[in-house]
Chain A
Amino acid sequence: METILALAIGVLTGSGIWLLLRPRTFQVIIGLSLLSYAVNLFIFSTGGLRTGAAPILERGEAGSLAQYADPVPQALVLTAIVISFATTALFLVVMLAARGLTGSDHVDGKEQDS
């Protein structure tokens, strides 16, 4: 499972950075989203990967590290997702405003002279 997750993080980061370097604002915003997904997956993995382990202790049950997932990375990821949702939404609003003002979706606000 570690290999698959590592590959997924790598592919997401790679695609995200490639898109970030593209000249259109839409590509930049998708690139930023992909990058933030990669980072979120990465943080999630730092607590160790377990299948079928709950992050919450059941009432009356003695907690043991063997069958227990670390809740902190999950909480961190949840926070990071919410925040990146807010920034992406705000970015989108301003990006559309820029599209309306400049008539172009180039990051410099005008098409490059070829």
Chain B
Amino acid sequence: MKPTLILRSSSALLLWCLVAVSVYVLLRGHNAPGGGFIGGLIAAAGVAVYAVSRGRAAALRMLRLHPAALCGLGLLVAAASGLPAFLDSAAAYLTHRWWFPDVGIQLPLGTPLLFDLGVYLTVLGTVTAMFLSLVEK
């Protein structure tokens, strides 16, 4: 079954829309604090649409990194987000640390955002890997 022209041409647009939404959700979540998990799922849905309409190989080319490598990168980022806690010798792993750089507004940056980014990449990688192995069949 060949996907229709409409689906094929709109899939790239859909992908970027979904990625944009997923980044917004990554930063804001369901209810203010970040949502790496749900953001990753939304981005993975975008990749899934792309893979269904243009095939598995095209989706892999578009991702550049292998989904498993994406998952590994996410795990590494999430694990690293806990390390700054050790700057304070009494604090345990994953203790939050915050910075408030002044760029016009007070920008609250913290290790939780880094953690969410890691979760985002991990979920994106895992779900994409599973979906692509289903598309293969």
Decide whether A and B are members of one complex.
Answer: yes
Task: Name A residues whose Cβ lies closer than 8 Å to a Cβ of B.
Answer: 82, 86, 89-90, 92-93, 96, 100
Number of A-B contacts (CB under 8 A): 12
Count, chain B residues at interface, CB 8 A: 7
- Please pick, from A82, A89, A100, the residue contacting B37 in the complex, using a CB distance under 8 A: A82
Is the CB–CB distance between A93 and B130 below 8 Å?
yes
Within 8 A of A (CB), among B90-121: none
Q: Are B130 and A89 in contact (CB under 8 A)?
A: yes
* Cα-based distance from A96 to B126 in the complex (angstroms): 18
Binding site for A on B (CB under 8 A): 37, 126-127, 130, 133-134, 137
Known: A86-B126, A90-B130, A100-B137. 9 other contacts (CB 8 A): A82-B37, A89-B127, A89-B130, A92-B134, A93-B130, A93-B133, A93-B134, A96-B134, A96-B137
Residues on the B chain within 8 Å of A96, using CB: 134, 137
A28 to chain B, nearest CB (A): 18
Closest to A94 in B: B133
With A and B bound together, what is the CA distance between A100 and B134 in angstroms? Answer: 12
Expressed in whole angstroms, the Cα–Cα distance for A55 and B133 within the complex equals: 39
In the complex, which residue of chain A has the Cβ closest to the Cβ of B31? A56
Contacts of B126 in A (CB 8 A): 86
A-B contact pairs, 12 of them (CB 8 A): A82-B37, A86-B126, A89-B127, A89-B130, A90-B130, A92-B134, A93-B130, A93-B133, A93-B134, A96-B134, A96-B137, A100-B137
Cβ–Cβ < 8 Å partners of A90 in chain B: 130
CB closest chain-A residue, reference B131: A89
Closest 9 CB pairs of A and B: A89-B130, A93-B133, A96-B137, A93-B130, A93-B134, A100-B137, A96-B134, A82-B37, A90-B130
Give B39 Cβ to nearest chain A Cβ, in Å: 14
Q: How far is the CB of B9 from chain A (nearest CB, A)?
A: 29
